[in-house]
DNA sequence: ATAATAGTGTCTATCAGACATTATCTG
DNA sequence: CAGATAATGTCTGATAGACACTATTAT
């Protein structure tokens, strides 16, 4: 069944003569919130890139880059992440697309935001290059986003206040970040972190997401700490174990605990 | 503090000479799943547009259009929805951004998908125009998407099968649509419907989303039916009322029930 | 044995699910 | 009052939260 359009063209003929025309097209980038645990699981780290050019020159920004012509946004995010950290096959999920016309002062740039969770925070390009990358300590609480790196003496703080708004008949309570430090994140990248963390915490309820920050084989004390870091509050050990019990299987092996006396058992995700 | 870049330019100077360059930029559209209730609340309706040109000529598609240079995607979606239906101030939420390079045979087109919920399904442009719009009966079950309009004799069916996949360490079960009817939806619009419905049902758990399909003042039997339509399963009356009790307030008025005897009371969202 | 962490047992308040009953309206 | 729908009452099993206890290891 070969339909012709009002010009008498078949689909093949139409596509052959098609011209995308002069619609104003935006640039599209991907930007990523990349989280990894500290080595001793005492906190979370977030990966940032120091901007070497205008705008937001010398500001720290989320890693990201332009989406190439022959790749999807997911592929672009995976490629950028790999270029920056060498990481592959980590959890990577689309969060939200940011599209306010003035979000980039250069030209119209939309950003498709992703979040990535890694079991490790591998070394990245040092602080001397034009495009330096570094892992920052990351704290996210009900009323605060704190990002700091004591080695290079950078501290970035945003206070979170609750704001109510309406969408149709539905009422929401949303968090709004307010800069509280001298240093700031580039562009609207705080918003990306905010949206990502909200989505992340919600998805922990019904997915195996925290497992993506654990090693292939993990101890339950470690897994619990990861849950606690991501959720932002502590859990009862017994309840936690019941909660994850049907998703894990014992390996039979034991891990030497770092400081404790009794050795904990190793598990893997079913 | 006025930083200069490696060319010795201030930010102002840099922006004045900035040239977006020859990065390949995609076209960006918004596409919407617009749902409204049937007048008697016996089911859901979905708004579709008949395509008048290639590609997918004569196929039915989700309403949408190009994002203009001076508007956000949210604004573009609101504008398109208003142009198509006259609706304003309805629930409208971003769902997902679809970006596979070959999803549109013409050229690179990314689509930022939205979902909209309306308390009514207002009349739309009839079936004679080049770009006809129509409301279709919409059924979404665990293993089926059925979209049909008996007036114009169109039936579109997709079977849903479960497929497992992995993201980092996290395992997911996802639904994959398979066309089962002669007619089909244009582009990847089934995927948009699928993602939207999954997100919608999830968000019902922790938002007031179904209220956006009810009128300003509503009866609890009606609100319960809306919940049941969106969730796809029936609820116990007593339990439902307990669940919504702290989010509603009585107006003091009563509504004449359509077929019943006892009049039900009118409520509004707190 | 002691100290420190790993792992298990169990009580309780809450709540979703299920079903039963009472209330109100029309003819 | 009969029939139909609106609204409320109440039982039960599952479960999240909380706390207490036992087990295993190194020194």
Question: What residue in A sits closest to B130 (Cα-Cα)?
Answer: A6
Look at residue B257 and tell me whether its pLDDT is greater than 80.
no
- Pick from B23, B72, B172: which is nearest to A100 by CB? B72
Do residue A153 and residue A262 come from a single domain?
no
Task: Say what the pTM is.
Answer: 0.94
* CATH code where residue B214 lies: 1.10.10.10
How many domains does chain B fold into?
2
Q: Provide DSSP, B58-97.
A: T-EE--EEEPPTTS-HHHHHHHHHHHHH---S-EEEEEEE
Cα angle value A200/A208/A48 (rounded, 5°): 40
Residues of A in contact with B112 (CB under 8 A): 97, 99
A93: closest CA among A74, A67, A111, A79?
Answer: A74
CB atoms within 10 A of CB A74: 19
Do residue B50 and residue B34 come from a single domain?
yes
Look at residue B1 and tell me whether its pLDDT is greater than 60.
no
Do residue A51 and residue A177 come from a single domain?
yes
Mean pLDDT over B252-269 rounds to 83
Asked whether residue B11 is domain-assigned, the answer is no
- Range(s) of the domain holding residue A221: 209-269
Measured distance CA(B159)–CA(B175) in Å, rounded: 9
Do residue A230 and residue A191 come from a single domain?
no
Q: How high is the pLDDT of residue A127?
A: 61
* CATH code where residue B148 lies: 3.90.79.10
Residues of B in contact with A204 (CB under 8 A): none
Measured distance CA(B196)–CA(B199) in Å, rounded: 5
Asked whether residue B37 is domain-assigned, the answer is yes
B54: closest CA among A18, A78, A85, A266?
Answer: A18
Q: How high is the pLDDT of residue B129?
A: 61
Q: Does the C-beta of A250 come within 7 A of strand C?
A: no
Residues of A in contact with B6 (CB under 8 A): 52-53, 130
Q: How high is the pLDDT of residue A10?
A: 84
| Contact by Cβ (8 Å): A215, A255 | no
Look at residue B87 and tell me whether its pLDDT is greater than 60.
yes
Asked whether residue A6 is domain-assigned, the answer is no
| Contact by Cβ (8 Å): A53, A45 | no
Do residue A194 and residue A223 come from a single domain?
no
Q: How high is the pLDDT of residue B240?
A: 97
- Higher-confidence residue of A267 and B170: namely A267
- Higher-confidence residue of A141 and B21: namely A141
Asked whether residue B6 is domain-assigned, the answer is no
Q: Which residue among A203, A225, A260 closes a domain?
A: A203
Strands A44-50, A60-61: pairing is antiparallel
* Residue B256 phi, psi dihedral angles, 5° rounding: -75, 125
Q: Which residue among A151, A177, A203 closes a domain?
A: A203
Asked whether residue A61 is domain-assigned, the answer is yes
Do residue A76 and residue A143 come from a single domain?
yes
Q: Which residue among B158, B176, B203 closes a domain?
A: B203
Question: Is residue B7 very low, low, confident or very high in pLDDT (cuts 50, 70, 90)?
Answer: confident
Do residue B52 and residue B123 come from a single domain?
yes
Do residue B55 and residue B178 come from a single domain?
yes
Asked whether residue A19 is domain-assigned, the answer is no
Partner A contacted by B269 (CB < 8 A): yes
pLDDT tens-digit series, residues B191-245: 999 999 999 999 999 999 999 999 999 999 999 999 999 999 999 999 999 999 9
Question: What residue in A sits closest to B24 (Cα-Cα)?
Answer: A69
Partner B contacted by A60 (CB < 8 A): no
Do residue A134 and residue A82 come from a single domain?
yes
Do residue B124 and residue B199 come from a single domain?
yes
Nearest protein residue to nucleotide C20 (CA to C1' distance) is B238
Partner A contacted by B168 (CB < 8 A): yes
Mean pLDDT over B12-24 rounds to 74
Do residue A152 and residue A60 come from a single domain?
yes
B47: closest CA among B32, B34, B65?
Answer: B34
| Contact by Cβ (8 Å): B43, B64 | no
Asked whether residue B2 is domain-assigned, the answer is no
Do residue A38 and residue A169 come from a single domain?
yes
Structure tokens at A196: 């990502």
Residues 6+ apart with CB under 8 A from A242: none
Low-confidence ranges of chain A (pLDDT < 50): none
b/e sequence B251-263, b meaning 16+ C-beta within 10 Å: eeeebeeeeeeee
């Amino acid at each position: 069944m070969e339909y012709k359009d009002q010009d008498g063209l078949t689909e093949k003929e139409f596509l052959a003569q098609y011209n995308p025309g002069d619609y104003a097209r935006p640039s599209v980038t991907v930007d990523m919130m990349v989280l990894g645990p500290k080595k001793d699981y005492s906190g979370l780290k977030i990966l940032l890139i120091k901007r070497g050019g205008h705008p937001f020159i010398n500001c720290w920004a989320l890693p990201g880059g332009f989406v190439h012509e022959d790749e999807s946004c997911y592929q672009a995010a995976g490629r950028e992440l790999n270029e920056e950290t060498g990481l592959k096959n980590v959890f990577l999920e689309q969060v939200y697309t940011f599209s306010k016309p003035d979000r980039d002062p250069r030209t119209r740039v939309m950003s498709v935001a992703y979040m990535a969770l890694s079991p490790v925070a591998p070394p990245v390009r040092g602080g001397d290059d034009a495009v330096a990358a570094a892992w920052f300590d990351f704290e996210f609480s009900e009323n605060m986003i704190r990002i700091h790196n004591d080695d290079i003496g950078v501290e970035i703080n945003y206070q979170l206040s609750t704001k109510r708004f309406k969408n149709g008949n539905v009422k929401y309570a949303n968090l709004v970040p307010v800069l509280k430090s001298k240093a700031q994140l580039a562009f609207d990248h705080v918003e990306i972190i905010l949206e990502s963390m909200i989505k992340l915490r919600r998805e922990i309820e019904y997915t195996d997401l925290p497992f993506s920050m654990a090693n292939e084989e993990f101890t339950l004390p470690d897994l619990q700490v990861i849950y606690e870091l991501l959720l932002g509050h502590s859990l009862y050990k017994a309840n936690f174990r019941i909660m994850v019990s049907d998703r894990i299987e014992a390996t039979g092996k034991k891990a030497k605990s770092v400081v404790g006396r009794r050795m904990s058992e190793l598990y893997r995700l079913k």
